[in-house]
Structure 1
């Protein structure tokens, strides 16, 4: 008689998966919760609030925009949990409304605490002494007034185009001479800072729209303001690639312009705006299909970041200076000599991103370097990486840069970088039309004696000096020929579409990354069935792919012990009897953004152990990473690097109980109780302890606190 499948009763999609979009909103709720976390300094809490607002804007402009497009085109494709686009939009509307209400509540509380700390955010009617009043009016007349362009809203004046995230004020006016009503629109240019810091003491900020309202008599002489209201719109900002696009650069230049005029997806309106004005706005903006959010409070929560810059170090995290790997210092700063001696992993942001820049700068200036190949997904606006590549090309080296035009919201910057690189003589390649090149790889070929040696860098994060200070990522440096030959094959695949027939170490998508992960999970299932210990640890940003989730369910049912650290979206439902009882999922949200992707498989022994299979990757476990992106999965074989990733990075992530949330089977996240007899903050630990791989001989005797997991209850 066949054995019954324990998951037979869990057959509906909603039983097996959480909705991707609602899971993301849950993540943003956890970000918002950090704004209420009194363990953080006050201005850092305000930063978390502003991040939650900016995150929500991007979510609507991309994810909600995509669903809205499906709905309007009558596409009935269901999500993995079985919801239609319309059902998802309805649920998103409800959840996002609750989130926005919570944001306003948090802002009200933080505003009061800021006032108590000596930072006031005042409204348009705030009383002011004569000097401050004179300064503010002068600032308005000379720095704001000349830039504003009021426009009458009547049949003779067509409604103007309002850009994405555009903030505007509608004024209902009455002419004093004859009481004739008129309606005016004032768009607030994005070139103006959202907040004005009023000169003098105490520290006072006034939002730009409040300043305009305060001096509306100067803007509209001869009129009385009967009413006014602020509104803001979010437009569809996604760019879809057309298969028939013959020139990708020209297509993206055109698409970026079209994106600025995308469909209105959401409209935030001050609650005080009269209903006829709201109806007029929806009609003029063609926004009847948009999600309308009435805001009782501050419109545009993301802009609160402008106050965070206030010079109050006592209200911010204590400054942190990343370490430069001692092992490279021991070789006089010679990156190649240090890497040639031993593989190194650099743990950002605790160890400086400057080592990556130094690697490329040395390659650019070294006369023995003959070639550099580099992928560029996000490089930032002021990029030392780009400068190094340009210097290398101008020095006569062969330089190839794979510039990803499809890096969302960095498309325009990447086009500018591509043009600069090409002018310097860099061979610029844009990769595949249908796939994003998301793998982060540098490759340097150097002449040494009578042969060539290749040095490589593989990263879990972007070549972006700003995010490298706040994202936790791993940089792996090696001169091992096996990895380097694979890197060369990967570049040939991207630049010439020459698919590698075999690879020695790397696994790449969209070729076989998902299959390799499934094989590794199957191996742990086999260990469990043979009565051996079977364990999986994995860390990522998002877990969405149904095939991987189903394989993890099968592993759980076979007795494999699974711990997942998933910062953001998680569609897997943990802790369900007969399906995922042996799976635990936690999310860490704190000072730094957890971004590194790591997978560890016990290989027949309890974790951690020296024989575990350890991998770092550029890929999250999502369909897009497995099927529509060029990614890598890299096995870690060097013993010291292996120990650092398993015994330090992964154990510390699992130990953290001061900034961790545990996902429950019903989809809710429960904050772990901090403290007890084993309080542990993962970020604090790495800020105060050197890494194993990059510490060097000078620090070999420096004590490192031993990390160990608490016994399972």
Structure 2
């Protein structure tokens, strides 16, 4: 590490959790690494630095993450197990071995979630927010609940008998249900009630104090009204997770029709996880298993609240004192200096925008101005996820209706957004937009837009390259990068990229963009070879890279080779990391950290020491849409973009990358045994990445964000650093 880096904030490391087991010393298991990431998310629910309701939000996010993990990853392993496929994972585990270890780790995670909820629930009560149970309330509250149940709940729910004349009903994915065994005279019956998705999980009881009652608790309190003259012998709640992945068939003749059918099939996917209240009787458990055909599902007996993702509803309560202080992103200064004219500002100089600290509205304005500008003749945009309320979609529709040539690449394979994307595709086509769905077996994951504008009797191309989706909601909570340029070289290459997606015309002679699945992995290997040669020759060398996941075996092995050659490597990997750092003789020159905080780190940024023929200390900097995973290199359309503009280069290297490296308030260090340990700042040497960029001037101004704040070290690639 260089002297400059050593002058940064000093940190210590907190006590580490139990290490992840590993059957192969070179790699960590992908699934267990993901569970370790979700544990880090859950840890934020216990972070006293966060306001109380934000801690509840982190708890709900960890639960939602776990649901999706079972819907996709565990479902895939279960399918392999059922088919007898015993292919080994990169770390040497069979599907059966992985499922066994996942079950152990996931059960421990769920137990920790319930421990966290117990603490948070008590803290909420102290703060004036009660989540009530089945104990009696005051007369006014009981009277209101009785009326509310009769008028608002009872007409919506449908008790169903479970007997030979009434087969077990279909229960949707993530569905919460209650089952009862009742007695009337000598007869016993079983009744099932599904909690309708249209009803809120938490019902707020009127009054000066905020009191909430879960829907299932209210139903239990009203069983006498629901089942008159019946005695409730036993009962309980349960919840299911279904296989929700969609595997595209190569022989699909019509991709749209295939997805419309596949979405319907997914709703009836097999049950992969069954969550039960732990005191439920064996007889009722057997009824549920048989009714759901869930004999092979992972069954978890839970001692508390089921479906903790629904705790997000509590965060909606109007309690500003229990949430992060409001943050208003800044609109890029350079565009404001041009009276809001995006094209004039971009034409003058390339612009880097740092979301969410700088408003995503600039991206929307870029498309809206293109739609309204009479000199714009064409717009092309790749849309992976656009959200439900998309101003970008409306702008594209307006542009098409104004007679412009508009092309939209809609990715139907964006998991869990397939149905929304189909709706947007229909709306765009009706407006006259040329809608393209890309490749059958590859996803178009690149986030690129281009505008062709007629200027001075010739066409000029304006481009937007992003690391995040054109999604207005996630853009407020994900940290991402937007790069606007009118560089004609990048304009031509963006046009070639779109022709590749829309017409399968493989781009030739690309000088700037590197794309997958064409040659991105090969280019990264070439760049690392340059660093290896430099280190062997005793010259400055190094790699600093930020990404969401590191899974690709070829790239991990290349990083090991670089480490062995003496290349210092610093990685910021938010989520899954299958590389084992800090192992003598294998990866002793590799450090890995993960940042989990107020915002979700999402930008991909890679810096190589020897990319340019420039003096020592000038790295080659790339931003990208891709993570270092096999799917991103081999099965997705992605881009990596070299940053040659000096101002943007300095902003990314000496501000964004630096801030990620020196953060010590939201960072976790990955140890060689697989455990993660939270960095603990010492004294006043604290640095919070998110707080810093919220408080300091924008990158899109004059590139002074870190220079105007307190003094911080500059990045250098020095010999032996």
**TM-score, length-scaled by structure 2:** 0.95
Alignment deviations for residues 100-148 of structure 1 (CA, whole Å, 9 cap, x no partner): 0000000001000001111000112x22222211111111111111011
CA distance in 1, matches of 2:225, 2:307: 25
Quote the residue 2:13 is aligned against.
none
Q: What secondary structure sits across from 1:487 in the alignment?
A: helix
Residue 574 (str. 1) matches residue 585 (str. 2) = no
CA distance in 2, matches of 1:153, 1:248: 40
Quote the residue 2:59 is aligned against.
49
Quote the residue 2:516 is aligned against.
509
Quote the residue 1:3 is aligned against.
none
Which has the bigger relative contact order, CA under 8 A and spacing at least 6? 2
CA distance in 2, matches of 1:109, 1:501: 59
User: 1:592 pairs with 588, 599, 609, which one?
Assistant: 599
User: 2:124 pairs with 108, 114, 122, which one?
Assistant: 114
Deviation at 1:449, TM superposition (A): 1.2
Q: 5 Å matches for 1:3-402?
A: 14-124=24-134, 126-175=135-184, 178-402=185-409
CA distance in 2, matches of 1:17, 1:702: 39
CA distance in 1, matches of 2:535, 2:617: 19
8 Å CA contact retained: 1:658, 1:675: no
User: 1:459 pairs with 440, 444, 466, which one?
Assistant: 466
Deviation at 1:603, TM superposition (A): 1.3
Alignment deviations for residues 403-436 of structure 1 (CA, whole Å, 9 cap, x no partner): 0000000000000000000000000000000000
8 Å CA contact retained: 1:534, 1:605: no
Ranges of 4+ aligned residues in structure 1 off by more than 4 Å: 604-610, 699-702, 709-713
Q: 1:136 to 1:62 in 2, by over 3 A?
A: same
8 Å CA contact retained: 1:267, 1:291: yes
Residue 468 (str. 1) matches residue 475 (str. 2) = yes
Quote the residue 1:706 is aligned against.
711
Deviation at 1:530, TM superposition (A): 0.9
User: 1:642 pairs with 639, 643, 649, which one?
Assistant: 649
CA distance in 1, matches of 2:604, 2:706: 30
Deviation at 1:706, TM superposition (A): 3.4
Alignment deviations for residues 360-413 of structure 1 (CA, whole Å, 9 cap, x no partner): 000000000000000010000000000000000000000000000000000000
8 Å CA contact retained: 1:532, 1:604: no
Q: 1:284 to 1:608 in 2, by over 3 A?
A: farther
CA distance in 1, matches of 2:373, 2:56: 46
Unaligned ranges ≥5, structure 2? 1-21
Deviation at 1:700, TM superposition (A): 10
**TM-score, length-scaled by structure 1:** 0.96
User: 1:443 pairs with 450, 453, 456, which one?
Assistant: 450
Quote the residue 1:624 is aligned against.
631
8 Å CA contact retained: 1:662, 1:670: yes
8 Å CA contact retained: 1:655, 1:709: no
Deviation at 1:498, TM superposition (A): 0.3
CA distance in 2, matches of 1:556, 1:238: 37
CA distance in 2, matches of 1:54, 1:303: 8
Q: 1:701 to 1:547 in 2, by over 3 A?
A: closer
User: 2:688 pairs with 675, 681, 698, which one?
Assistant: 681
User: 1:563 pairs with 557, 563, 570, which one?
Assistant: 570
User: 1:549 pairs with 540, 546, 556, which one?
Assistant: 556
8 Å CA contact retained: 1:375, 1:440: yes
CA distance in 2, matches of 1:142, 1:217: 16
Residue 434 (str. 1) matches residue 441 (str. 2) = yes
Q: What secondary structure sits across from 2:680 in the alignment?
A: coil
Deviation at 1:201, TM superposition (A): 2.6
CA distance in 2, matches of 1:676, 1:474: 32
CA distance in 1, matches of 2:364, 2:140: 49
Q: 1:77 to 1:17 in 2, by over 3 A?
A: same
Q: 1:141 to 1:15 in 2, by over 3 A?
A: same
Q: 1:605 to 1:576 in 2, by over 3 A?
A: farther
CA distance in 1, matches of 2:119, 2:243: 32
CA distance in 2, matches of 1:38, 1:701: 27
CA distance in 1, matches of 2:318, 2:61: 19
CA distance in 1, matches of 2:410, 2:393: 11
CA distance in 1, matches of 2:207, 2:415: 41
Q: What secondary structure sits across from 1:651 in the alignment?
A: helix
8 Å CA contact retained: 2:654, 2:715: no
Q: Which moved more, 1:82-91 or 1:700-709?
A: 700-709
CA distance in 2, matches of 1:674, 1:413: 44
CA distance in 1, matches of 2:706, 2:559: 41
CA distance in 1, matches of 2:82, 2:315: 40
Q: Which moved more, 1:421-430 or 1:671-680?
A: 671-680
Unaligned ranges ≥5, structure 1? 1-11
CA distance in 1, matches of 2:709, 2:314: 39
Deviation at 1:696, TM superposition (A): 4.5
CA distance in 1, matches of 2:503, 2:615: 41
Q: What secondary structure sits across from 1:585 in the alignment?
A: strand
Quote the residue 2:4 is aligned against.
none
Q: 1:334 to 1:677 in 2, by over 3 A?
A: same
Q: What secondary structure sits across from 2:154 in the alignment?
A: helix
CA distance in 2, matches of 1:115, 1:436: 47
8 Å CA contact retained: 2:658, 2:715: no
Quote the residue 1:9 is aligned against.
none
Q: What secondary structure sits across from 1:407 in the alignment?
A: coil
Q: What secondary structure sits across from 2:46 in the alignment?
A: coil
**Cα root mean square deviation, aligned:** 1.8
CA distance in 2, matches of 1:202, 1:13: 53
Quote the residue 1:8 is aligned against.
none
Quote the residue 2:425 is aligned against.
418
Q: What secondary structure sits across from 1:14 in the alignment?
A: coil
8 Å CA contact retained: 1:654, 1:709: no
CA distance in 2, matches of 1:184, 1:410: 35
Alignment deviations for residues 335-379 of structure 1 (CA, whole Å, 9 cap, x no partner): 001001111110000000000000000000000000000001000
